[in-house]
Amino acid sequence: MDGNTINISRITTEDGSVVKIKGLLGATCLYVYDPLALHHIFVKDQQFYEESDDFVQTNRMFFGQGLGTSVGERHRLQRKLIAPSFSIAHLREMANVFYEVSHRLHSTFRDLGKNDDQQVDVVVWMSRLALELIGQSGLGCSFDTLTTDMQPHPFGVAAKMLLPLSSSIPPLRRLLMPWIGKFERWPRLGRFLVDLIPSKSVLDLTFVVDTMNRTAAEILASKKAAISAGDEAVKDEVGQGKDLISALLKANMFAPEKERLKENELLGQVASLTFAAVDTTSSALSRILYLLAAHKDVQEKLRQEIKDAREGSGGQDPDHDTLVALPYLDAVCRETLRLYSPVTKVDRVATADTILPLSTPVKGIDGTDIQSLSVPKGTNIIVSILGSNRNPELWGPDAMEWKPERWLKPLPEALINARVPGIYSHLMTFISGGRSCIGFKFSQLEMKSVLATILEDIEFSLGEKEIYWHMGNVTTPTTDINSVTPTMPMKIRYIGKGSDSMQT
């Protein structure tokens, strides 16, 4: 456990569901996971709790005018156009794409796993897999063959470098980024100012952003050209025009003129979509495989369910509806996303003076019970996803334990009555309201497709080195407590037909 994990865990378990803490440069922040307060922040009064201007401006420098960096009416319009691409009907078509990519990784793992207790860096492979999954299904292009001799694609390298580099910028220099971001109408001036910042991390970051923007522009141009050339040209594209970006471009063409996304907004979706999908998906899959390696009984029970499902599907990949309905696979995914959410917090700022009601009173400095809080305009709010997902008052005394079986029986009455506003299973993992994760069902289908493919005959065991989990913007594993470089060596073994385990 690293330092920030310890601090967050202490606040979550000891200090209550609303805590006043000190932020950057001594600024006062509210650390919140009270369910009623969350309902007001994300649902009832969401118009008064937005991402901070600093957050928006900084991220626009990285991703452009995508869904994650737009606000107000432009955000609502973008979400309206993008939402149909994440419908159940569209996801049913995506399942085969996810399976095809997963089978490529499975083939590589099978070959590697034929050597006794072959060690592989699982998080590296999960990152490559996640990029190829979003490449095929989201962008309609291929970045990786998922073979051992494949050199990383520059776009993939850039996407993986973005978070570590942005985290490594010294705090005082980081404060300059949102200020420079205000010059977005004059990009050349903004770039000139960025180049003046005396920081190697900033220079490296500009290279990463340039690489992502260049690739995004190439992808967008290719999709537009295929659509303009007609249906036959679209069918020749990776994904046959069913990818999310192609669907968005088509929807945008037929939208009323005032609701159409501008060129820079379309470009921003490529970077935003990739960033949102790659790190969180690779983090969640890495955590699941780590937990399954640590709990071999769970791994074996899950493997048997997967085998039974494949047998019931005539030896083929289970279809979408069968896959998402597998109870134990679903329980493993839900429990991991509860206890170990890839993103542990989100930030908001009060845009007006508001009142924040609480479901459970907190003690004031004078010892009196406080039923609601006056929140002045400009107050920074840290919403604790971990705090809500691990709240023992809602989830019970075993809230800090990883127990997939909890999802196979009725959930605690206290949890049901609390009405946590999360869009997924009483969890805040994908938050809620107008800025909730639009692709939460997409990400679940990705994870389940991967696990149902590789776990059938690949056994995962813990490696020799202890794994630490670094709580940055997205939680990542590492073998060095002082490093933010993701790495997670694990042992894999092929246990399918023709393996030693089948012959003994």
Could you read off the pLDDT of 346-361 as tens digits, one per residue? Answer: 999 999 999 999 999 8
Domain assignment present for residue 90? The answer is yes
Report the C-alpha gap between 19 and 42 in whole angstroms: 18
Domain assignment present for residue 388? The answer is no
Report the side by side order of strands in the sheet with 118-121.
118-121, 489-494, 458-462
Strand partners, 350: 49
pLDDT in tens, 212-226: 888 889 999 988 888
Report the C-alpha gap between 502 and 496 in whole angstroms: 7
Domain assignment present for residue 199? The answer is yes
Domain assignment present for residue 396? The answer is no
pLDDT classification of 439: cutoffs 50, 70, 90: very high
Domain assignment present for residue 294? The answer is yes
Q: CATH code at 181?
A: 1.10.630.10
- In the predicted model, is pLDDT for residue 208 greater than 90? no
pLDDT classification of 172: cutoffs 50, 70, 90: very low
**Cβ–Cβ under 8 Å, residues 168 and 484:** yes
Domain assignment present for residue 31? The answer is no
Strand partners, 325: none
Retrieve residue 133's tokens.
Answer: 């999954």
Beta-carbon contacts of 66 under 8 Å, excluding residues fewer than 6 positions away, are: 78, 265, 268, 269, 270, 271, 272, 273
Q: What percent of the chain has pLDDT over 90?
A: 58
Residue 283 has a pLDDT of 96
pLDDT classification of 45: cutoffs 50, 70, 90: very high
pLDDT classification of 485: cutoffs 50, 70, 90: confident
State the number of CA atoms in the 13 A half-sphere of 280 facing the CB: 22
Q: What percent of the chain has pLDDT over 70?
A: 85
Residue 32 has a pLDDT of 96
Domain assignment present for residue 382? The answer is no
- In the predicted model, is pLDDT for residue 452 greater than 70? yes
Report the C-alpha gap between 79 and 101 in whole angstroms: 27
**Cβ–Cβ under 8 Å, residues 453 and 485:** no
**Residue 437 known to bind ligand:** yes
**Cβ–Cβ under 8 Å, residues 66 and 269:** yes
Segment 340-345 shows an average pLDDT of: 96
Distances (CA, A) of 93 to 191, 213, 458: 41, 28, 26
pLDDT in tens, 55-68: 787 777 777 788 88
Domain assignment present for residue 409? The answer is no
Q: Which of 30-34, 368-372, 471-475, 499-503 has the highest mean pLDDT?
A: 30-34
Residue 3 has a pLDDT of 41
Q: Which domain holds residue 298?
A: 3-12+58-325+421-503
Residue 270 has a pLDDT of 87
pLDDT in tens, 228-276: 887 555 555 555 678 999 999 999 998 998 889 998 889 888 888 888 8
Residue 205 has a pLDDT of 75
pLDDT mean across residues, the chain? 86
Retrieve residue 9's tokens.
Answer: 């865990």
Residue 173 has a pLDDT of 47
How deeply is 186 buried, as exposed, middle or buried, from its count of CB atoms within 10 A (0-12, 13-18, 19+)?
A: exposed
Distances (CA, A) of 253 to 67, 90, 250, 367, 479: 18, 19, 5, 60, 48
Retrieve residue 186's tokens.
Answer: 């004059």
Residue 54 has a pLDDT of 76
Distances (CA, A) of 459 to 110, 318, 451, 455: 10, 20, 12, 7
pLDDT classification of 1: cutoffs 50, 70, 90: very low
Overall domain count for the chain? 1
The counts of H helices and E strands in the chain are 22, 12
Report the C-alpha gap between 226 and 63 in whole angstroms: 24
